[in-house]
Amino acid sequence: MTLTAEMLAAAYDYLCFTSPFDKWMPPSDEVKFLVIKSTDRYAHYQMIDDVHHIAVSTRFVDRHMTLLSTMAHEMIHLHIRSSGIRQRNAHGRAFQRLADEVCSHHPEFDRLNF
């Protein structure tokens, strides 16, 4: 599977039609999507100059379900940031609670690897 920024946006848009993302997320045109070749992470979320960025690595994300679950993971980070939820650890209690909610709606995602 060859990742493109357009494919990442389409995965984001698809998830935005599903719960709980349909209540949480800004439209995809407010997010910059990047394809990277990182060897130390599947993806990452950042806010740069008031623009949301989601970057996904071609080194790890090579299947459709991996793309969707990775995108969902980064969308939780975006939601935490845009909601002003404060947390000390990027994968702390707030993230874990929201990941549980996402996985309750998307049982196809592997919660242990989320």
The answer on pLDDT for 110 being more than 90 is no
Q: Tens digit of pLDDT for each residue in 46-77?
A: 999 999 999 999 999 999 999 999 999 999 99
State the DSSP H helix or E strand holding residue 103, giving kind and residue range, or none if neither: helix 93-105
pLDDT band at 114 (very low <50, low <70, confident <90, very high): confident
Does residue 31 carry a pLDDT above 90? Answer: yes
Both tokens assigned to 13:
């848009």
Tell me the torsion sign for CA atoms 104, 114, 19, 78: positive
pLDDT of residue 44: 97
Q: What gap in Å lies between CA 87 and CA 29, rounded to an integer?
A: 27
pLDDT at residue 111 tops 90: no
